[in-house]
Amino acid sequence: MPSNDDHHPNTPSRIEQAARRLREAAVSGVPCQPVRDLIDAGDLAGAYAVQRLNIDAALSAGARRCGRKVGLTNPAVQRQLGVDQPDYGTILDTMVFTSGAQVPFRGLLQPRAEAEIALVLGQDLSGGQVTAEQAAAAVSGIRLAIEVVDSRIAGWDITFVDTVADNASSGLAVLGAELSPPDGLDLAAVEMTLSRNGVEESTGRGAATLGHPMNALAWLAAAADKLGDPLQAGEVVLTGALGPVVDVRAGDVVTVEFTGLGTVHAHFE
């Protein structure tokens, strides 16, 4: 006979079921069905609870948290998913590679690459509502980045709660080796060109991230603080895609050029 929990979509057992479904997909390499049958469409707290369960499992297995990523900063993507806000996920040390390194393709299910500006925090950033100016004051440096988004859910058939639960559809992050000082840079005006195997595939500007990467950081600081997991000094924050995502396959070489900042490369094994 079904348990009483089966009649209440957001009881802990349903959250645990969703977390297990996503975790098993990641381990097996076989994408799973969406988790929105287990989490109500508007249950943001429940979706983040699923995310936390799987992050905690990774931490228990020896991974270390080193940052966060902001997703859904593009208004067009928000409209596509029927939401009016970004989301965020956690970056673990096992997910981070340096520009030019061989990036393992094994373990990725449905990867897509996007160009991002990463901000390194020199101090904690918490306390509820945060302005872009306060966010900027907490940044100690800038790194160029290629984020490889991925989905454990078959066919990228996701709604907002699906992607939040799935660690904001995080995969890997390839970071530029150099740390640039933030002073005097107009990050909203930075333009990028993403090429795959020498062919231009995507272009965009820093303004695509909620108008300015510091706006994305300010949003993240408030959102993380509200969920009791404030940003800490030393964390790296991926602030959102500057342009359209690009599918990647094993053997691909992805190169992103940022005006005035440099280049970052990802070579997928």
Q: Is 42 exposed, middle or buried (0-12, 13-18, 19+ CB in 10 A)?
A: exposed
The sign of the dihedral angle between the CA atoms of 265, 182, 190, 211 is positive
In the chain, where the domains are located:
65-268
The answer for residues whose C-beta is within 8 angstroms of residue 243's C-beta and 6 or more apart is 114, 115, 192, 194, 202, 203, 204, 205, 208
Residue 6 has pLDDT above 60, yes or no: no
Residue 49 burial (CB count, 10 A)? 20
- Helix and strand numbers (H, E) in the chain are 6, 13
Query: pLDDT tens for residues 34-71?
Result: 999 999 988 999 999 999 999 999 999 999 999 999 99
pLDDT band for position 133 (cuts 50, 70, 90): very high
On the question of pLDDT at 21 being above 60, the answer is: yes
Question: What was the pLDDT predicted at 1?
Answer: 34
**Percentage of residues of the chain with pLDDT beyond 90:** 83
In CATH, 65-268 is 3.90.850.10: yes
Give yes or no for residue 27 having a pLDDT over 90. yes
Query: What's the pTM value of the predicted model, to 2 decimals?
Result: 0.92
- What's the pLDDT score for residue 11? 60
What band does 3 get if pLDDT is binned at 50, 70 and 90?
A: very low
Least Cα distance to 164 among 221, 227, 87 occurs for: 87
Confidence at residue 9, expressed as pLDDT on a 0 to 100 scale: 53
3-state per-residue secondary structure call for 117-177: EEEEECCCECCCCCCHHHHHHCEEEEEEEEEEECCCEHHHCCCHHHHHHCHHHEEEEEECC
Q: Tell me the pLDDT tens digit for each residue of 145-174.
A: 999 999 999 999 999 999 999 999 999 999
Per-residue pLDDT tens digits for 198-238? 999 999 999 999 999 999 999 999 999 999 999 999 999 99
Q: Encoding tokens for residue 163?
A: 């992607």
Q: Which helix (H) or strand (E) holds 94?
A: none
Average pLDDT, the chain: 92
Residue 137 pLDDT > 80: yes
pLDDT > 60? residue 4? no
Mean pLDDT across 105-112: 94
- Residue 122 CA neighbour count, 13 Å, CB half: 13
Q: Nearest-CA neighbor of 147 among 97, 77, 186, 110? A: 97
If residue 89 lies in a helix (H) or strand (E), which one and from where to where? Answer: strand 87-92
238 phi-psi bin (left φ>0, alpha ψ -120 to 50, beta other): beta
